[in-house]
Amino acid sequence: MDFSFSEDQRSLVQGARAYFSGRYGPEVLRRLDLDGLCNPEIWKGLTEMGLTGLLVPSEQGGMGMGLVEGALIAAECGRVALAEPLVDTALIAVPWLISRGDTEALAKIAAGEKRVAISHVINPWLNDGDGTPLESIDPLRHLTTVEDAENDPFLLDLGALMSAAQLIGVGDAMLSQAVEYAKIRTQFGQPIGAFQAIKHQLANCVGAIEFAKPVVWRAAQAMQDALPLAPVHVSHAKFAATDAATLTAETAIQVHGAMGYTYEVDLHFWMKRCWALAGAWGDRAFHLRRIDHAVLGGEGNKWPLAIGPEHTFS
Amino acid sequence: MQLTYTPEQEAFRADVRAWMQANVPREPLATLECREGYDQHVAWERTLASDNWGMVTWPEAYGGRGLDLIQWLIFEEEYFRANAPNRANQNGIFLLGPTIMEYGTEEQKQRFLKPMAKGEVIWAQAWSEPGAGSDLAAISSRGVRDGDHYVLTGQKTWSSRAAFADWGFGIFRTEPNSKRHKGLSFILFDLNTPGITRRPIRQLHGEAGFAELFFDDVRVPVENRLAGEGEGWNVAMATAGFERGLMLRSPGRFQATAKQLIDLYRKHESHASPGAREAVIQAWGAAQAYAYNTYAVAAKIIAGGKIGAEASLNKIFWSELDRTMHRTAMQLLGAQAELKRFADGTLNHWLEGYIFSLSGPIYAGSNEIQRNIIAERLLGLPRLGAG
């Protein structure tokens, strides 16, 4: 029993965070938003970092990592509100293709030559497709319609897990933007962050995010270990991460005051990502129903969840 | 990350389970906050100690079993699975004990830890004063050095367990005219020392779980001081960290409550609101989240890390979860919620639990203070007036 990340996992995160934060600041997001284009150089950079092939087996030229590492990188993508659909291709499509024994595209994905996004009936569009465009409130998600969406539960769980992980990073980022603003904005002769009315709201966000994190990591490990109850843990993760990020988004705009309502302040990129991901791959109600079924399902329960102090990891 | 138990850990769980099955009292004990219940709970402490279950993480030399924090968590899970009684000595084993382990001399460890683990000496904490609650650094009780003794004067209040306990610990101003966090010392005292008057405080439910303490020239030997003279604040904050952080409220307690709440919901499903149903589902999720987080904290400490201001996150989380779960239970009980005993004579433990849960966000540092700590120490926000 060891609920901690390995040295390798920690350095993977540190490496990705250093790479992203040096290159994909808000100025990049603004340029992409204004140009309405993806910059191919960015995908090239992600490929060189090995991130497109993170979960691709080494035989196909990837790093052969697992879903825990995938979730950790998804959180880093959320932290920078990455515009490129790296999560859709590398962290959702790749493990789904592997689960189906469909390895044909993997080498090209790892090499950065191919992007694959898979649509699920629960959200029948693609973030990165070539159908008719649909306009998302998140200007950095390029949604298009699809003809045929999949209806595979494993795909749904992958999408939900990686969305939950992104929401953790999105929440962390919004919180630190609000905190930095509260330190520099002064009123009544004080930084507004000195007032308890601000402090306590931000402290609530820390609590929500910090207690959602272990739920997400536990879900990632459960999926990686292919536990029969992994879908329940994924729903718990998506539910907790959605609530934490939503609370943080609303708190962050409130702390920014009227500035938070402007395009000029960066917050809105993360807030819009939060809104999009909150509903993607199963919304709050969908995941609550799945947990409800496991906890209160009674006879014929598809996910007979053992409940009680001795069942923390049952 | 390895989220499965080793065979040794599973075997340990089986040992604890078997012991609990054989030893946990069949009938619930009277409340810890009356004389009869206190005595029953002390007897239970001694039963635990008779097989060295008093505090499993302590070295064997001090009456423990020398186990790690994962085994402690397993022990706690089985403890709450068995619905074992509350710990009369929680101030000792969970708060003062770890503090002595960190700051005590070898002589103090020998002197205090073993009787604590054995349930022979029950401890009360004595921090708050009438003028120093959330603003603990405003304390004014004094300890004046007189040869090899301190002479304590002043008043402490809300002293948990002090109505019946044997010994107490608290901080006293040992440097005359010192201000705020400076000049305080952490002192342990026998509650039966001449000059100490205890006045039990009747709580809103009618029992007296805490007390006021009056110190009238109470002579306490200098060797009862923990750590150096004037270092009391830092020692007290370490104790507070243990209180808020890991030990005082292990996850098993809340997982057990969540499970009981789920059972209660099934009984009352026909007239429950959709909101109550969602609250029940969330109770399971939140109790599990608290458990995962505690395992993560344990892993961090085992790897040599420390728990700092994050302890405040835990304290807010468990205290507000406990209140929410009990509030939900009261809603499910509807008209029956007000009954101290149901028509069939069984105790309405939800009512008792709800009343107790209202104290959680207040004791161990009010949740407002915890939110300040999080904002200032974890987020780096400025103190009011410092800008």
In this complex, do B313 and A206 lie within 8 Å of one another by their Cβ atoms? yes
The average pLDDT across B288-296 equals 97
In this complex, do A292 and B317 lie within 8 Å of one another by their Cβ atoms? no
- Nearest beta carbon to residue A215 from set B289, B310, B381: B289
Looking at chain A, which residue has its C-alpha nearest residue B80?
A309
Does B263 lie in the same domain as B219?
A: no
Rounded Cα distance between A215 and A185, Å, is 34
Could you give the angle at the alpha carbon of B23 between the alpha carbons of B125 and B56, nearest 5°? 50
Does B259 lie in the same domain as B279?
A: yes
Least confident segment among A34-38, B230-234, B359-363: A34-38
Looking at chain A, which residue has its C-alpha nearest residue B79?
A309
Could you tell me if A173 and A77 are in contact, meaning their C-beta atoms sit under 8 angstroms apart?
no
From A246, A251, A227, A249, select the one nearest A164 (Cα to Cα): A246
Q: Taking CB atoms and an 8 Å cutoff, what residues of chain B touch A212? A: 289
Residue A232 has pLDDT above 60, yes or no: yes
The average pLDDT across A37-63 equals 93
Rounded Cα distance between A169 and A81, Å, is 8
The average pLDDT across A295-302 equals 84
The average pLDDT across B279-295 equals 98
- For residue range B107-161, what is the model confidence (pLDDT) as tens digits? 999 999 999 999 999 999 999 999 999 999 999 999 999 999 999 999 999 998 9
Q: Taking CB atoms and an 8 Å cutoff, what residues of chain A touch B298? A: 3
Q: Taking CB atoms and an 8 Å cutoff, what residues of chain A touch B1? A: 2-6, 9, 68, 217, 221
Does B153 lie in the same domain as B28?
A: no
In this complex, do A312 and B372 lie within 8 Å of one another by their Cβ atoms? no
Q: Is residue B64 part of a domain?
A: yes
Q: If you search the block for the tokens 């809300």, which residue do you land on?
A: B158
The domain that contains B200 carries what CATH number? Answer: 2.40.110.10
Beta-bridge mates of residue A118: none
C-alpha separations of A25 from A32, A269, B27, B95, B158 in Å = 11, 11, 63, 45, 52
Q: Is residue B103 part of a domain?
A: no
**pLDDT > 70 fraction of chain B, expressed in percent and rounded:** 98
Q: Taking CB atoms and an 8 Å cutoff, what residues of chain A touch B21? A: none
The domain that contains B312 carries what CATH number? Answer: 1.20.140.10
Does B366 lie in the same domain as B278?
A: yes
The total number of structural domains that make up chain B: 3
C-alpha separations of A241 from A52, A75, A102, A275, B368 in Å = 24, 11, 31, 12, 24
Does B215 lie in the same domain as B258?
A: no
Per-residue model confidence (pLDDT) at position B387: 45
Per-residue model confidence (pLDDT) at position B243: 61
Q: Compute, in degrees rounded to 10, the torsion defined by CA atoms B378, B379, B384, B385.
A: 110
Q: What is the nearest CA distance from A99 to chain B, expressed in angstroms?
A: 22
Residue of B1, B9, B253, B366 for testing the chain A interface, max A β-carbons within 10 Å? B1
C-alpha separations of A95 from A16, A67, A87, A114 in Å = 20, 8, 11, 15
How many alpha carbons fall within 13 Å on the CB side of residue B286? 26
Rounded Cα distance between A3 and A220, Å, is 12
Domain span at residue B264?
245-378
- For residue range B294-317, what is the model confidence (pLDDT) as tens digits? 999 999 989 988 888 899 999 999
In this complex, do B77 and A295 lie within 8 Å of one another by their Cβ atoms? no
Rounded Cα distance between B264 and A296, Å, is 11
- Nearest beta carbon to residue B387 from set A1, A190, A236: A190
Q: Taking CB atoms and an 8 Å cutoff, what residues of chain A touch B281? A: 288, 291-292, 295-296
Q: Taking CB atoms and an 8 Å cutoff, what residues of chain B touch A311? A: 255
Per-residue model confidence (pLDDT) at position A196: 97
The average pLDDT across A156-162 equals 98
In this complex, do A310 and B78 lie within 8 Å of one another by their Cβ atoms? yes
Residue A308 has pLDDT above 90, yes or no: yes
Q: What is the nearest CA distance from B30 to chain A, expressed in angstroms?
A: 24
- For residue range B161-200, what is the model confidence (pLDDT) as tens digits? 999 999 999 999 999 999 999 999 999 999 999 999 999 9
In this complex, do B255 and A311 lie within 8 Å of one another by their Cβ atoms? yes
From B94, B235, B119, select the one nearest B170 (Cα to Cα): B235
The average pLDDT across B323-349 equals 97
- DSSP type of residue B193: S
Does B185 lie in the same domain as B249?
A: no
Q: Taking CB atoms and an 8 Å cutoff, what residues of chain B touch A235? A: none
Looking at chain B, which residue has its C-alpha nearest residue A207?
B313
Cα–chain center distance at A193: 28
Structure token pair of residue B344: 């069939």
C-alpha separations of B354 from A178, A231, B250, B272, B323 in Å = 35, 33, 18, 18, 6
Rounded Cα distance between A18 and B218, Å, is 60
The average pLDDT across A68-88 equals 97
- Nearest beta carbon to residue A291 from set B4, B13, B285: B285
C-alpha separations of A199 from A168, B31, B351, B360, B387 in Å = 20, 38, 33, 21, 15
* In chain A, where the domains are located: 176-311
- Nearest beta carbon to residue B379 from set A202, A236, A239: A202
Looking at chain B, which residue has its C-alpha nearest residue A287?
B281
Residue B81 has pLDDT above 70, yes or no: yes
How many alpha carbons fall within 13 Å on the CB side of residue A264? 5
In this complex, do B387 and A68 lie within 8 Å of one another by their Cβ atoms? no
Does B264 lie in the same domain as B224?
A: no
How many alpha carbons fall within 13 Å on the CB side of residue A104? 3
- Nearest beta carbon to residue A218 from set B3, B5, B376: B3
- Active site (catalytic) residues of B: 243
Per-residue model confidence (pLDDT) at position A37: 66
Residue B234 has pLDDT above 60, yes or no: yes
Could you tell me if B277 and A292 are in contact, meaning their C-beta atoms sit under 8 angstroms apart?
yes
Rounded Cα distance between B113 and A32, Å, is 64
Structure token pair of residue B23: 């030893």
In this complex, do B1 and A212 lie within 8 Å of one another by their Cβ atoms? no
Q: What is the mean pLDDT of chain B?
A: 94
Q: Is residue B22 part of a domain?
A: yes
- H or E element, residue B343: none
Residue B385 has pLDDT above 90, yes or no: no
The average pLDDT across B235-245 equals 76
In this complex, do A296 and B281 lie within 8 Å of one another by their Cβ atoms? yes
* Chain A to chain B Cβ contacts (< 8 Å): 178
Does B146 lie in the same domain as B22?
A: no
**pLDDT > 90 fraction of chain A, expressed in percent and rounded:** 91
- Nearest beta carbon to residue B292 from set A182, A193, A215: A215
Does B271 lie in the same domain as B193?
A: no
Per-residue model confidence (pLDDT) at position B207: 84
From B47, B50, B51, select the one nearest B25 (Cα to Cα): B47
3-state secondary structure of A125: strand
In this complex, do B385 and A190 lie within 8 Å of one another by their Cβ atoms? yes
The average pLDDT across B1-14 equals 97
* Strand B167-173 with B149-160, pairing: unpaired
Residue B366 has pLDDT above 70, yes or no: yes
Q: What is the mean pLDDT of chain A?
A: 96
Rounded Cα distance between A214 and B295, Å, is 9
- CATH number of the domain at A176-311, please? 1.20.140.10
pLDDT band at B244 (very low <50, low <70, confident <90, very high): low
Looking at chain B, which residue has its C-alpha nearest residue A290?
B281
In this complex, do B381 and A313 lie within 8 Å of one another by their Cβ atoms? no
Q: Is residue B101 part of a domain?
A: no
- Nearest beta carbon to residue A207 from set B285, B317, B372: B317
Q: What is the nearest CA distance from B384 to chain A, expressed in angstroms?
A: 5
Beta-bridge mates of residue A50: none
Q: Taking CB atoms and an 8 Å cutoff, what residues of chain B touch A195? A: 384
How many CB atoms lie under 10 A from the CB of residue A180?
A: 13
In this complex, do B381 and A198 lie within 8 Å of one another by their Cβ atoms? yes
The average pLDDT across B39-44 equals 97
Per-residue model confidence (pLDDT) at position B364: 87
In this complex, do B374 and A313 lie within 8 Å of one another by their Cβ atoms? no
- DSSP type of residue A88: I
Looking at chain B, which residue has its C-alpha nearest residue A190?
B387
pLDDT band at B238 (very low <50, low <70, confident <90, very high): confident
Q: Is residue B383 part of a domain?
A: no
Could you say which of B205, B236, B267 is where a domain stops? B236
